[in-house]
Amino acid sequence: MANIFIFIGIVELGLLGLPILAFTIAKSQILSRRKIFWFYSFFGVLGLGRIFNLSFRGDVFDMILPVGLYLGYCILVFYLLKIDNKILRLTTFIIGFIPIAHGYIMATVGVLGIMMISVELFATKSTDLQESFYYREYDYGNATSSDGGTIIEFYKSPIWFPLIEKRLLTKKVSYLQYNTERLNVTLELNKDSYNLKIFSKDSLQFDTLISR
């Protein structure tokens, strides 16, 4: 539960503090062009990794990418406001500040919404299977939605770099279609595939093969 509040705190401080930090960086020109290039390159590589389902291990560390991208966006907006072209400055001011203003609104009057989103994005359970395989469970759905249940994500973490994980499968186990009580996951390693099975109350709910 403590980690969920850490997650919520990161979102809140990010939405409120990152635009101020970006303004300070742009105004004082703390970062040289070379540092800005490496800054955007680093988060570009992280974003490319997400396309291939690669990320840091753990939900809190995964916040590095969205926090960095939002900071980079805010820095870009404030730098564009310093150029001589009045039309481009005005366009940047009108369009560029919409996400920033929306973030401030969400961080102040929309705190309850952030808490609901954060709870759904943070794992309620993490279980090791065998070797470097494991799965995490996420709850989804709330009092205002017509569906709900559990999302199971299946991961593999390289032995030589345990801070990185690769998501191999995401399965939404809806209470409308499955028995979602006492979910248990088993994994069989074959030469060319992984056999993943999801049980509930000792009854098979889901069975799939994943190519290696």
Average pLDDT of span 181-186: 83
DSSP secondary structure string, 58-116? STTGGGHHHHHHHHHHHHHHHHHTTSS-HHHHHHIIIIIHHHHHHHHHHHHTTHHHHHH
How many Å apart are CA 52 and CA 48, to the nearest integer? Answer: 7
With a cut of 60, say whether residue 57 has pLDDT above it.
yes
Task: Please write the tens of the pLDDT for every residue from 138-155.
Answer: 888 766 667 788 888 889
Domains of the chain: which residue ranges?
Answer: 2-117, 124-211
With a cut of 60, say whether residue 2 has pLDDT above it.
no
pTM above 0.95, yes or no: no
Task: Please write the tens of the pLDDT for every residue from 81-115.
Answer: 888 888 888 888 888 888 888 888 877 766 666 66
